[in-house]
Amino acid sequence: MAPISEAMGLAIAESAAALGFSSPNPAVGAVILDCDGAVAGVGHTQPPGGPHAEVMALRAAGSRARGGTAVVTLEPCNHTGRTGPCAQALIDAGVAAVHFAVADPNPAAAGGAARLREAGVEVHAGLREAQARGGPLRYWLLRQDLGRPFVTVKIAATLDGRIAAPDGTSQWITGSAAREHAHRVRAQLDAIVVGTGTVLADDPSLTARRPDGSLAARQPTRVVLGHRDVPAAARLRDGVSPLVHVVGRDPRDVLAALPEALHVLVEGGPAIIGAFLAAGVVDEIQAYLAPTVLGAGRSAVDDVTVGTLAQAHRFVRSAVTELGDDLLVVLQAAR
C-alpha cells in the first residue's frame, strides 16, 4: 500500500520523463492507486496531441482504477483541445478520489477540481505543492506567469572563472562525468542558444549525445543569435534538429522566436551570457566548475552593464553535485 504523499513523490518523478517531450504542454505525472492503495498505473504527458498524464495512468491501471485514487502533479484539465478533458476521463474511470499538487493557472484549462466534485469525486489540492512547483512543472509555470520560457545559463569553467586559456584552448576544462551530465540536460530541453561568434570559432553541433557518442532520442532546437551568417557547411545545418537564426543581439528576440518552448539553455559565449543577464531573463545558472586555475584567459561572462558590486546579478544556491572531480553548482535567480 502506497501512502498518498509517497504516490505524489512517484508522480513528480514520473513527470520528468515528459521534459522536452510534452512542450508546449506541461510535464505532468500521474499515479493511480487501486481501492486497496496499491499502485495500479503510472503515466506522464505525451507529445502534443497525445494523451495527458492522467489518461496514460488510467490506461495502465485498467479496471483497477474504479474506486481508486488519482494522484496528479497538476489539477486535471477541464477543457477539450487536441485531447478531451482529463477530469472527465477520471470520472468515467470511476475514480473515487483525486489529490493534486498545483492548481491550474491557465483559465482555459482550469476548473477540473470543480467538475470532479460535481460528479461526487473527493478532491484534495496542494499535496506536496512546493516540491511539485520546484520540479519539472516549473518551466511551464514560469511561462504561465511571465509569458516566456524558463532560461538556464550553462557555464563550464575553472575555479577562477575561465572558459579558455590565453591561446584559446578549452577542450576539456571539465571531465567526462560533467560532460555526460550536460548532455543529459540537453536531451530534456526545448532549445539551446549560442552566438554567431561561437558558431564561427568552434563549429559546435549542440546535439544531445549518449555516453557512447550516439545521438539521444530527443534533440533540442538549436538557436543562433547574431548578425553574421551561419556558414552553409556548419555542423548546425546537419538536419538533426531545427536551426533558428535570430538576427540581432537582443535576447528577448530569441525568446519571442520560441513561442512554444518551456525551457531554453544559453550555452555561450561570454557576450551572449552577459546579454541574457543584462536583459534580466536568466532564471537559473548551471555552473560546472573544474578543480583548475588558469590565472588568465577568457572569462565566462562579459556584461558591460555591471560597473560596481551593487549592480551584480544575485543568485541563490539551490544544489551542489559532485561529478567526478568537478562540481555542478545550480543557482536560482534571487527574485
Q: What b-and-e string marks burial along 68-107, b requiring 16 or more CB atoms within 10 Å of the CB?
A: bbbbbbbbbbbbeeebebbbbbbbebebebbbbbbebeee
CB 39 within 8 A of CB 10: yes
Q: Which of 143, 145, 181, 171 is nearest to 264 (CA)?
A: 143
Catalytic status, residue 54: yes
The backbone torsions φ and ψ at residue 320, rounded to the nearest 5 degrees and listed phi first, read -130, 125
What does the alpha-carbon distance between residue 196 and residue 202 come to, in Å, rounded to a whole number? Answer: 10
Radius of gyration of the chain (CA): 22
SS3 of 255, please? helix
CB 283 within 8 A of CB 152: yes
DSSP 181: H
Residues 6+ apart with CB under 8 A from 242: 221, 222
Q: Which of 5, 235, 19 is nearest to 100 (CA)?
A: 5
Chain centroid to Cα 330, Å, comes to 14
43 has which bridge partners?
30
Set 6, 14, 54, 322: catalytic member: 54
Chain centroid to Cα 44, Å, comes to 15
What does the alpha-carbon distance between residue 286 and residue 75 come to, in Å, rounded to a whole number? Answer: 30
- Cell 511539485: give the residue: 132
- Positions marked catalytic: 54
